[in-house]
Amino acid sequence: MNESDPKLRSAHSIAHSNIALAKYWGKRNSELNIPAVSSISITLEALATKSSVTFDPHSRGDSLEIDGERFDTEKISVVLDLVRTQSKITDVARIQSSNNFPTSAGLASSASGIAALTIAAASAAGLDLSRKELSMIARRGSASAARSIFGGFVELHAGSQQDGSDSFAEPILDREDWPLEVVVAITQSGKKATSSTTGMLSTAGTSPFFDSWVNSAPAKVAEMREAILALDFQHVGELTEQSCLAMHSLMFTTVPSLIYWNEGTISVIREVQRLRASGTECYFTIDAGPQVKIICEPANSASIVSAISELPAVVEVRRSRLGPDAQLVNPK
């Protein structure tokens, strides 16, 4: 295939993963992928996806390759269809992505991947969209991806409109205004057993705590937003752990139960508590996988990395500053 063929429309992008401090779990509309609760995240500079999108009339169907391996196109075709409808392009697309971290292991590869795809696909199709519009398209592929359109501290609104028109992400604080760091403890690099999408639908149907999670979310998200704007690290950290543990309680009480943790996950939680008790302020959070992300101030990240690296169950440790907006890049 000749990429310089003028009939082929291509664009290239980079987007960064994110982790939620106030978690999203559950949908108020599955078809439109509208979250049941608002969420707040930080974007991670060290975990990135690069993506190339080419609309190609000669290809047979949408295709996705991540690090050379073929993947299912269900989630990305939702995004591509929205871009095709808006741009009136009918061509199928070839996507080639590369992650600099393990795919589908609870490190939010779908967030960075779908954010990168959205930006590149919109550009390749010739659409000139605002970041708010891009985040709404990305949300349809994966709600956490809506947050990765932006850098720094980001809020994804659950909204209340039936059509999802008020469910989009927006930045709440620039990374330069509060340069926190994150230490990522990888306790297993395999793929997760149950996808977030499947897991959260199962939780909504079976956990006795789901309604109270949804009802308490607006106040919790508002408290988190205020703590971030006040640069109150202790408050943000405590709320982060509470949100993480409340979400995992929902997962544990889902039938059949969703236990994404492994022994290494528990050992990292214990180490974070030990570090804190000995005067190193840091807080943990965990998504739908066994990896633990530790939020800290830059002065403490080196000592946290060395303490966490000592744990036998930790296979790899990454350190990250807060990341930038998703953006278009030139082809390499």
Binding site for ligand DP6 (CB under 6 A): 20, 23-25, 33, 39, 110, 142-144, 196-197, 287-288
Instruction: Please tell me the distance from the alpha carbon of residue 20 to that of residue 41, in angstroms, as a whole number.
Output: 4
Q: Could you tell me the smallest distance in angstroms from the CB atom of residue 135 to ligand DP6?
A: 12
Instruction: Please tell me the distance from the alpha carbon of residue 48 to that of residue 111, in angstroms, as a whole number.
Output: 10
Smaller CB separation from ligand DP6, 86 or 197: 197
Q: Could you tell me the smallest distance in angstroms from the CB atom of residue 96 to ligand DP6?
A: 21
Smaller CB separation from ligand DP6, 21 or 304: 21
Q: Could you tell me the smallest distance in angstroms from the CB atom of residue 24 to ligand DP6?
A: 3
Supply the DSSP string of 111-171, one letter for each residue: HHHHHHHHHHHHHHTT----HHHHHHHHHHH-HHHHHTTS-SEEEE---S-TT-TT--EEE
Q: Could you tell me the smallest distance in angstroms from the CB atom of residue 2 to ligand DP6?
A: 34
* CB-based contact 125:55 (threshold 8 Å): yes
Instruction: Please tell me the distance from the alpha carbon of residue 193 to that of residue 201, in angstroms, as a whole number.
Output: 15
CA torsion sign for 260, 242, 315, 275 is negative
Q: Could you tell me the smallest distance in angstroms from the CB atom of residue 57 to ligand DP6?
A: 29
Q: Name the DSSP letter for residue 322.
A: B
* CB-based contact 15:149 (threshold 8 Å): yes
Instruction: Please tell me the distance from the alpha carbon of residue 115 to that of residue 150, in angstroms, as a whole number.
Output: 9
- Burial-class residue 237 by CB neighbours within 10 Å (0-12, 13-18, 19+): buried
Instruction: Please tell me the distance from the alpha carbon of residue 142 to that of residue 171, in angstroms, as a whole number.
Output: 18
Smaller CB separation from ligand DP6, 9 or 23: 23
Smaller CB separation from ligand DP6, 87 or 167: 167
Smaller CB separation from ligand DP6, 22 or 92: 22
Which phi and psi (to 5°) does residue 93 adopt?
A: -125, 145
Q: Could you tell me the smallest distance in angstroms from the CB atom of residue 251 to ligand DP6?
A: 9
Smaller CB separation from ligand DP6, 155 or 287: 287
Q: Could you tell me the smallest distance in angstroms from the CB atom of residue 243 to ligand DP6?
A: 9
Grouping H, G, I as helix, E, B as strand and the rest as coil, residue 33 is: coil
Instruction: Please tell me the distance from the alpha carbon of residue 70 to that of residue 212, in angstroms, as a whole number.
Output: 40
Q: Could you tell me the smallest distance in angstroms from the CB atom of residue 61 to ligand DP6?
A: 21
Smaller CB separation from ligand DP6, 227 or 275: 227
Smaller CB separation from ligand DP6, 20 or 314: 20
